[in-house]
Amino acid sequence: MRTQVAIIGAGPAGLLLSQLLMKSGIETIVLERRSREYVLSRIRAGVIESGAVDLLDKAGVGDRLHREGHVHDGCNLAYDQQMLRIDFKSLCGDHVVVYGQTEITRDLYDAQDALGANIIHGVDDVEIIGADTDSPYVTFKHDGQDKRIDCDFVAGCDGFHGVSRQTIPDSVRSEFEKIYPFGWLGVLSETPPVNDELIYASGPRGFALASMRSPVLSRHYIQVPLNEKVENWSDDAFWDEYRKRLPQSAAEALVTGPSIEKSIAPLRSFVSEPMKWGRLFLCGDAAHIVPPTGAKGLNLAASDVFYLWRAMSAHYNDKDGALIDRYGEDALARVWQAMRFSWWMTRLMHLFPDDPAFDQRIPAVEFAHLQNSETARRNLAENYVGLPY
């Protein structure tokens, strides 16, 4: 087989890249380890920056998002029962849209089907060969047979556990990592949200987040120790703890019900550099992970895809290779901004019980500063809604 761009991974990064490239007249083949049903069953992000919405519109997959997604002009921080609204609209004239990653993935699959995309599911043993030469290729197993795709470029969109990043030799690659001493226990339930906007709550029992997908579908998270097991959390135990961590008005509004998904995700900050090695380009979680507190994971995958699509369009359609050479620098500049913000918001809102007493005093004064200073709130708002591409 031969194509122009071989894409490893059919998560949001891989599917969106394939969709944008195909619409620009560039050929792709997407290789995905899992089945389509599995990819579509993953419950993940829910807050979409308006820059990512614009990109989904450019890809021709924004219609359902505009119909069914919910525009949020603000969010709330609660600190020991005190609520502070961050009014995105008045502070920076922008908003975010609440629309599940699962729905975005479904919209992308539908759009890719309509374009006749070649997405091969259930592949094993993917290897990227010759990425530092002019004739790279990808080998893999499918239906028990060895296969090979020759291509111009390889896009590594295969998430944190994929093979693409490992293809870059250790001598070239630098990794920057911070592991946090807790995870998020998340529950999805067919119940109305406790509030019409998100509430990020910090208090003596730890962090909680009240989020949502729709007026009848809610997403809830609590901070739990890193070694916690999901089996130890019955629905009742979750709701009891969650209620205790929410501000009173939200706790009173809480409607509980059976969980339809429950899982624990560890929190980490991670960046691998470079994001371009020869003809291999990393996009999304393959190159970086943020703790979910700033809602940036999926949004960063989208901005990487934007830079790569722009670069490849210039290369194929305008015969201009300058943006291809700069892809890594362009993407990483925005990645590090989101790293800083996600780390800062994680420090602000969570308990770090093993930190020195000095460090533990800082979040309360940060919160007081946010309450007293419009400049501080604007800083938060501008980062939360997403820095420009």
- Nearest approach, Cβ of residue 295 and ligand PHB (Å): 3
Determine how many CB atoms are found less than 10 A away from the CB of residue 143: 9
39 binds ligand RFL (CB under 6 A): yes
| Contact pick of 7, 18, 33, 65 for ligand RFL (by CB under 6 A) | 33
Phi, psi (degrees; rounded to nearest 5) at 378: -65, -40
Number of residues that bind ligand RFL (CB under 6 A): 34
E strand residue ranges, the chain: 5-8, 28-32, 47-49, 70-72, 74-79, 82-87, 96-98, 119-121, 124-129, 137-142, 145-150, 153-156, 174-189, 199-202, 208-214, 217-225, 259-273, 276-277, 280-282, 288-289
- Nearest approach, Cβ of residue 140 and ligand RFL (Å): 7
Name residue 342's amino acid. S
* Contact status, residue 5 vs residue 308, Cβ threshold 8 Å: no
- Nearest approach, Cβ of residue 96 and ligand PHB (Å): 9
* Contact status, residue 86 vs residue 95, Cβ threshold 8 Å: no
Phi, psi (degrees; rounded to nearest 5) at 130: 70, 30
Query: Encoding tokens for residue 322?
Result: 């300058």
10 binds ligand RFL (CB under 6 A): yes
- Nearest approach, Cβ of residue 125 and ligand PHB (Å): 33
- Nearest approach, Cβ of residue 348 and ligand PHB (Å): 12
Q: Is 181 labeled as catalytic in the residue annotation?
A: no
Q: Is 99 labeled as catalytic in the residue annotation?
A: no
Closer to ligand PHB by Cβ: residue 105 or 293? 293
Closer to ligand PHB by Cβ: residue 293 or 313? 293
47 binds ligand PHB (CB under 6 A): yes
- Residues numbered 190 to 229 that lie near ligand PHB (CB under 6 A) are 198, 211, 219
101 binds ligand RFL (CB under 6 A): yes
Closest-by-Cβ residue to ligand PHB is 46
265 binds ligand RFL (CB under 6 A): yes
Q: Is 292 labeled as catalytic in the residue annotation?
A: yes
What are residue 158's DSSP bridge partners?
none
DSSP annotation string for 217-279: EEEEEEEEETT--GGG--HHHHHHHHHHHS-HHHHHH-----EEEEEEEEEEEEEEE-SEETT
* Contact status, residue 46 vs residue 99, Cβ threshold 8 Å: yes
Only one of the segments 33-41, 81-89, 143-151, 251-259 lies at the binding site for ligand RFL (rule: CB under 6 A); that segment is: 33-41
| Contact pick of 197, 273, 285, 330 for ligand RFL (by CB under 6 A) | 285
* Contact status, residue 307 vs residue 331, Cβ threshold 8 Å: yes
Only one of the segments 40-48, 132-140, 273-281, 356-364 lies at the binding site for ligand PHB (rule: CB under 6 A); that segment is: 40-48
What are residue 269's DSSP bridge partners?
178
Picked from ligand RFL, ligand PHB, none, the partner binding residue 293 (CB below 5 to 8 A depending on kind) is ligand PHB
DSSP 292: G
Query: Encoding tokens for residue 145?
Result: 């047979």
Closer to ligand PHB by Cβ: residue 31 or 300? 300
103 binds ligand RFL (CB under 6 A): no
- Strand order of the β-sheet with 276-277 is 119-121, 28-32, 5-8, 153-156, 280-282, 276-277
Closer to ligand RFL by Cβ: residue 287 or 381? 287
**Cα 21 from Cα 31, distance rounded (Å):** 15
292 binds ligand PHB (CB under 6 A): yes
| Contact pick of 9, 11, 46, 162 for ligand PHB (by CB under 6 A) | 46
Alpha carbon separation from 129 to 32, 279, 289 (Å, rounded)? 17, 10, 25
183 binds ligand PHB (CB under 6 A): no
- Residues numbered 140 to 169 that lie near ligand RFL (CB under 6 A) are 157-159, 161-163
| Contacting positions for ligand PHB (CB under 6 A) | 45-47, 198, 211, 219, 292-293, 295
The catalytic residue positions are 72, 200, 292, 296, 384
